[in-house]
């Protein structure tokens, strides 16, 4: 009896003092010449709601959150945007965090339409880019963003319908992702974002 | 004998309790399935894109139009709680009258704090007077 009590106390101490681990780097990794090489998101060139080009250098020295959407989406996109706004509100004053919302509807979502959408969402912030680009390019880049999240490529609708938010750090590594329609998962994601931002401050 | 009475009493009580919440249960399921994508589960809407249902002043003054809005949708500029909206909402012609009643009752109860109960006959009446709403 006494022994069991000891074990329980010991266990609770161990589990209490467990430290928060550094956010992992997600995706494939490979050891090359004794050095770990991690998956990096590919290069991209898009155009944002103000007609400006957006490339990886736009986010230089910044972490950013990526999602795929389209402005006329009647299903899950509004819910994802609602959650993304929650993340945005929380980290609004942090200049080390940007946002990249990529439209998959290259036909309908013109620069003007993206501008309209950003306005309607009440986003007037250079940190949040709503972008379009060439269709093939958008889909190709998506693979490199959603690489870790796409375990089920056969899911109906594919990545453009799964509503994920992906966290990319300033070294182009994917550090976390969540289901943008699920407030609980987004809560966890926000903690990951917080960890990444404090990790970098150290 | 006493036991039988007790059982009957219990069954009655259970059926009364379950009946009075049942409509909202189904109404919630339907609302979450058909409406929450745009208006959100908590009825808060999305900024300037989708108007809120929760405490909507527009809905409070258009309560009798709700069945028509569900069936036919809504188009044109409207103002909800001080904000303007102009995107088109498509209707849901496939939702049956009894399920419209379920949704309406759930919305009235949950988002307008109104316990008033609307039945299918009243929904039918609302739906036969949709002309003004559609314009």
Q: What domains, with CATH codes, occur in chain A?
A: 24-201 (3.40.30.10)
Is A122 close to B49, i.e. CB distance below 8 A? no
Provide the pLDDT confidence category of residue A14 given band limits of 50, 70 and 90.
low
More confident residue, A104 or A11: A104
Question: Inter-chain contact B37–A79, Cβ cutoff 8 Å?
Answer: yes
Question: Does residue B11 belong to any structural domain of this protein?
Answer: no
Indicate which CATH number applies to the domain containing B67.
1.10.760.10
B98 located within any domain: yes
Indicate whether B92 belongs to any domain: yes
Residue A143 tokens read as 């693979």
The pLDDT-based confidence of B13 (bands split at 50, 70, 90) is low
Total tally of structural domains belonging to chain B: 1
The dihedrals phi and psi of A117, each to the nearest 5 degrees, come to: -65, -45
Nearest CA in chain B to A183: B41
Residues 35-64 of B with CB under 8 A from A: 36-38, 40, 44, 46-50
The answer to whether the predicted template modeling score (pTM) of the entire model surpasses 0.90 is no
What is the C-alpha to C-alpha distance for residues B101 and B117, in angstroms, rounded to an integer?
9
Q: Is residue B77 part of a domain?
A: yes
- Residue A186 near residue A175, CB atoms below 8 Å: no
ipTM over 0.85: no
Domain that holds residue B87: 25-134
| A47-61, A156-170, A185-199: segment of lowest average pLDDT | A156-170
């Amino acid at each position: 009896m006494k022994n069991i009590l000891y074990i329980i106390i010991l266990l609770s101490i161990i589990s209490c003092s467990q430290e928060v681990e550094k956010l992992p780097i997600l995706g494939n990794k490979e050891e090359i010449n004794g050095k770990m090489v991690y998956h990096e998101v590919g290069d991209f060139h898009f155009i944002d709601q103000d007609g400006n080009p957006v490339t990886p250098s736009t986010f230089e020295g910044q972490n950013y959150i990526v999602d795929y959407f389209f402005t006329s989406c009647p299903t899950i996109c509004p819910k994802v945007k609602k959650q993304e706004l929650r993340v945005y509100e929380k980290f609004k004053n942090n200049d080390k965090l940007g946002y990249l919302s990529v439209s998959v509807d290259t036909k309908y979502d013109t620069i003007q339409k993206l501008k309209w959408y950003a306005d309607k969402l009440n986003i007037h912030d250079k940190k949040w880019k709503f972008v379009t680009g060439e269709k093939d390019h958008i889909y190709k880049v998506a693979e490199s963003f959603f690489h870790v999240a796409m375990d089920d490529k056969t899911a109906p609708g594919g990545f453009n319908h799964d509503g994920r938010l992906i966290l990319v750090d300033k070294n182009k590594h994917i550090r976390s992702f969540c289901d943008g329609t699920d407030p609980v998962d987004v809560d966890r994601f926000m903690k990951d974002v917080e960890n990444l931002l404090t990790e970098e401050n150290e | 004998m006493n036991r039988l009475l007790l059982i009957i009493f219990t069954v009655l009580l259970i059926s009364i309790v379950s009946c009075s919440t049942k409509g909202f249960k189904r109404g919630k399921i339907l609302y979450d399935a058909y409406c929450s994508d745009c208006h959100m589960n908590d009825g808060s809407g999305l900024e300037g894109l989708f108007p809120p249902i929760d405490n909507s002043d527009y809905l409070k003054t258009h309560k009798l139009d709700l069945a028509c809005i569900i069936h036919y949708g809504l188009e044109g500029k409207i103002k909800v709680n001080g904000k303007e909206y102009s995107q088109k909402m498509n209707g849901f012609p496939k939702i049956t009258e009894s399920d419209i009643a379920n949704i309406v009752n759930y919305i009235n109860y949950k988002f307008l704090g109104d316990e008033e109960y609307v039945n299918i006959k009243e929904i039918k009446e609302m739906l036969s007077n949709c002309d003004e709403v559609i314009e």
